[in-house]
Amino acid sequence: MTEPKNELFSRPKPRHIGIIMDGNGRWAKARMLPRMAGHRAGTDNIRRVIDACIEFGIEFVTVYAFSTENWKRPSDEVQGLMQLLSEMLDDRIGELHEKGVRLLHIGRLEQLDALTREKIKNALELTRNNKTITLIIAWNYGGRDEVVAAVQKMLRDQVKPDDVDEKLLSSYMFTSGIPDPDLMIRTSGEMRTSNFLLWQSAYAEWFFTDTLWPDFDRESLRQALESYASRERRFGKRKPEDEKQQYAG
């Protein structure tokens, strides 16, 4: 397939981008607003970034919205975040559907209340045949928990030890069928994975920016894509120009 001509950023571009949307609290604090105002601005920003991803022709975007560790936050914040997810599923799903966004979820649904689970299920069902872009919401997601869930499922399926390989394990992950992320972005200046896509990001390129998530816009994404295009992904091999080189001695 020939790529459409696009002068917005250099090639190659990632197929799948993972985003750790961090810094909502600090964004609110800098404005002397309650933390929830930061989370609200952060949630609104998903729309803006998805529009930019569509414009740039990205196929898959996974956003880290609630980690298995985020349950350790004060209960009013956890409740507020659950409420925001619920509102997003009520108010934004029509618009996402119209844009052709296919919604997927990764993480454990069991610990969410029945109504939220139902809303997620309906949103996935409504958008399942959409083709413009796939937006994967990581909610109650943890990379270690995902490995635990995969092992539990394999044992339940009575998988034989000798049948376990990387391909099989991948198929037991929440992300089964989704290509691994090529580019991982973390906002707000923190430089850690915080348990996000541990298995899948083994060979992803990372982009860290000090920009707080609610301020991360189209131009910030374009810069991340420029940075990605300048990287050389070797996957453990030698540089292509070194492959043919003969070394004396």
Task: Tell me which residues in 205-224 interact with ligand IPE (CB under 6 A).
Answer: none
Instruction: Give the CA count within 13 Å in the CB-facing half-sphere of 105.
Output: 22
CA angle, 146 then 82 then 32, to 5° = 115
Full 3-state SS string of 16-35: EEEEECCCHHHHHHHCCCCH
Residue from 51, 70, 130, 215 carrying the catalytic annotation:
70
Q: For Mg ion, which residue of 22, 146, 182, 205 counts as binding (CB under 5 A)?
A: 22
Q: For ligand IPE, which residue of 43, 45, 62, 67 counts as binding (CB under 6 A)?
A: 67
Pick the closer one to Mg ion by CB: 100 or 189. Answer: 189
- Residue 95 CB, nearest distance to ligand IPE (Å)? 22
Q: For ligand IPE, which residue of 14, 18, 25, 143 counts as binding (CB under 6 A)?
A: 25
Q: Is 21 in the site for ligand IPE (CB under 6 A)?
A: yes
**70 counts as catalytic:** yes
**22 counts as catalytic:** yes
CA distance 34 to 114: 28
- Residue 212 CB, nearest distance to Mg ion (Å)? 10
Using CB under 5 A, count the residues that bind Mg ion: 1
Q: Is 65 in the site for Mg ion (CB under 5 A)?
A: no
CA distance 58 to 132: 9
Helices (H), the chain: 24-30, 35-55, 75-91, 93-98, 114-127, 143-156, 166-172, 218-229, 240-243
Draw the binding track, 70-89, toward ligand IPE (x: CB under 6 A; -: no contact): x----------x--------
Choose the one of ligand IPE, Mg ion, none that binds residue 173, judging by a C-beta under 5 to 8 angstroms depending on kind: none
CA distance 152 to 155: 5
Task: Tell me which residues in 37-66 interact with ligand IPE (CB under 6 A).
Answer: 64-66
How far the first Cα of the chain sits from its last, in Å, is: 44
Cα 52 to chain centroid distance, Å, stands at: 15
Using CB under 6 A, count the residues that bind ligand IPE: 17
Pick the closer one to Mg ion by CB: 22 or 146. Answer: 22
Please answer whether residues 97 and 127 qualify as being in contact, where contact means their C-beta atoms are separated by less than 8 angstroms: yes
* Residues at the contact surface with ligand IPE, assessed by CB under 6 A: 20-26, 64-67, 70, 81, 188, 190, 192, 194
* Residues at the contact surface with Mg ion, assessed by CB under 5 A: 22
